[in-house]
Amino acid sequence: MLLSLPDESLLIILRFLHYKDINNVSCVNKRFQRLCKDDSLWKWQCSHYFLNSQCDKTETWYEHFVSLFSEYGRYTHYKEIRCAWDKIEKFLEKYCPTILASLQDGVSEGDLHAVEDHIQHKLPEDLRLSYRIHNGQNLLAQSPGLMGGCMISTHIRTDSLVPLEEMKNSYQTEGPLAGCAFLSLDQVCKAAQLITISGQGGFSEGYVYSFMHDPDRPSPDCFIMGSTFLEWLCDYANKLEQNSFYVAHEHIFKFYHEPGCVDGNIGITVKPTTCFIPELSRVYPPQHFFAYRIMIEMSEDTPPDQACQLKSRFWHIKDGDGKEEEVSGPGVVGEYPVMKPGAKFAWISCSTFETPTGEMKGSFKFRNLRTGIETDVPCPLFCMKAPACLTAAERREIIKARQKENG
């Protein structure tokens, strides 16, 4: 029955098979052997498994698939990592071409094996694959950091994705960061995100951490930024694709906007965004440092007689334990912006909480330039949440438990 079908129908059926099964079917007879080498079949396989739709005219699509498989077939998460990089590249091409130009070509399997031999430990598979696609950024290019950062009046951070050689040289074999290596780095303030290559320092392998700077505590506490490199990269790529962050002069600032967190009145909309700053935070005594950026905008369709000036602000602040505080004062960051149709004004401020979570809501009083009437424009409730923390004390207990388990 199956053999009586025309070639076109059989090819449609074959497209539903995994490439391993296609190779098995090719052994049935000469007809299937011929069909299983059909270009249309392997073009689909290349696109589906490797997100690749370009084939050199000197090779068939089957040969192209074999070439891709020999390069990347070992990587279980190839599609997810490649897709994340595609999103990142598309975003950079549109908004940050300088960062795009700083990305380096991927390394070879031989380069990765050499690094593993040097540090005497296997790299996480998702990290290996990312280095195959892009070898981080050229740190000499003085480009803004690919992995974004944060900004307040007294502090700016922009994290560059480090190349393989920098990651290798930063790997720690002893001390409080044993088993860790740089993943991203701000070359000015020296803040870094690290990935755990081995668990010898009490860390979980493959996790991405941001460390707190506390000169009084030589063994640092840290925040967990991702339980795998895959999770860390894909989350960032998805947020870039959704335009969740603020971009200025090709710098990516990770002020995150929660969808739907917008309010307003008299033609003015208020949109808050937040950013957690790990390097300015600490566990003992507890201080979780957040920056927030408020954007106010008057619609172009607003009647001109609604033009107004911001006069004062009011904030209602509550931490994770329910402790409340109210703050009010003239203007915002010393400014009294005038809002006319189409006008925009944004500012950055900060807040600290003893608890890992906190929230703010408030209002801004505007005075109509023509009538003098004052109106409150609400700012919606926005929440701030620090990542989970792994303390030095917890790591010491993990090390003791492993030592006890190993006798």
- Count the alpha carbons within 13 Å of 312 in the hemisphere toward its beta carbon: 9
- The whole-number average pLDDT for the span 40-57 is 86
Q: What is the pLDDT of residues 222-245, one digit of tens each?
A: 899 999 999 999 999 999 999 999
Q: Which residues contact 407 (CB under 8 A, 6 or more apart)?
A: none
pLDDT at 316 over 80: yes
Distances (CA, A) of 359 to 80, 257, 304, 316, 351: 34, 14, 34, 8, 10
Task: Read off the pTM.
Answer: 0.89
How is residue 17 annotated by DSSP?
A: S
Strands (DSSP E) along 94-244, which ranges? 103-105, 134-137, 149-152, 155-158, 160-161, 180-185, 192-196, 208-211, 222-226
pLDDT at 5 over 90: no
Amino acid at 273: T
Query: Alpha carbon 342 to chain centroid distance?
Result: 31
Residue 102 — very low, low, confident or very high, per pLDDT cuts 50/70/90?
very high
Q: What is the pLDDT of residues 136-183, one digit of tens each?
A: 999 888 899 999 988 888 888 899 999 999 999 999 998 888 899 999
Q: What is the pLDDT of residues 172-216, one digit of tens each?
A: 998 888 899 999 998 777 778 999 999 888 888 999 999 765 556
Return the pLDDT at 315.
98
Give the residue from 56, 67, 62 showing the smallest Cα distance to 39: 62
Give the residue from 51, 140, 189, 158 showing the smallest Cα distance to 96: 158
pLDDT at 2 over 70: no
User: What domains lie within the chain, and their CATH numbers?
Assistant: 2-72 (1.20.1280), 79-236 (3.40.1580.10), 255-390 (2.60.40.1470)
What's the rounded Cα separation, in Å, for the pair 212 and 283?
9
What's the rounded Cα separation, in Å, for the pair 90 and 100?
9
Return the pLDDT at 1.
62
Give the residue from 337, 255, 256 showing the smallest Cα distance to 296: 337
- Count the alpha carbons within 13 Å of 7 in the hemisphere toward its beta carbon: 11
The two three-digit tokens of residue 66, written as one number = 């074999």
What's the rounded Cα separation, in Å, for the pair 45 and 62?
9
Give the residue from 368, 277, 373, 359 showing the smallest Cα distance to 325: 359
pLDDT at 68 over 80: yes
* Phi, psi at 284, each rounded to 5°: -125, 115
Q: What is the pLDDT of residues 329-361, one digit of tens each?
A: 999 999 999 999 999 999 999 999 999 999 999
Residue 189 neighbours by CB distance under 10 Å: 14
What's the rounded Cα separation, in Å, for the pair 82 and 51?
7
Distances (CA, A) of 175 to 59, 172, 180, 201: 52, 7, 10, 8
pLDDT at 407 over 70: no
When comparing pLDDT for 89 and 391, which is higher? 89
pLDDT at 41 over 90: no
Question: Tokens 């929230």, residue?
Answer: 359
Q: DSSP letters of 35-63? A: HTT-HHHHHHHHHHHH------TTS-HHH
What's the rounded Cα separation, in Å, for the pair 364 and 379?
7
Return the pLDDT at 90.
97
Distances (CA, A) of 77 to 47, 81, 121, 128, 181: 15, 6, 20, 11, 22
Return the pLDDT at 217.
61
* Phi, psi at 225, each rounded to 5°: -95, -15
* Phi, psi at 345, each rounded to 5°: -150, 135
Return the pLDDT at 228.
96
Q: Is 403 exposed, middle or buried (0-12, 13-18, 19+ CB in 10 A)?
A: exposed
Return the pLDDT at 218.
62
- Please report, rounded to a whole number, the percentage of residues in the chain having pLDDT higher than 70: 97
pLDDT at 392 over 90: no
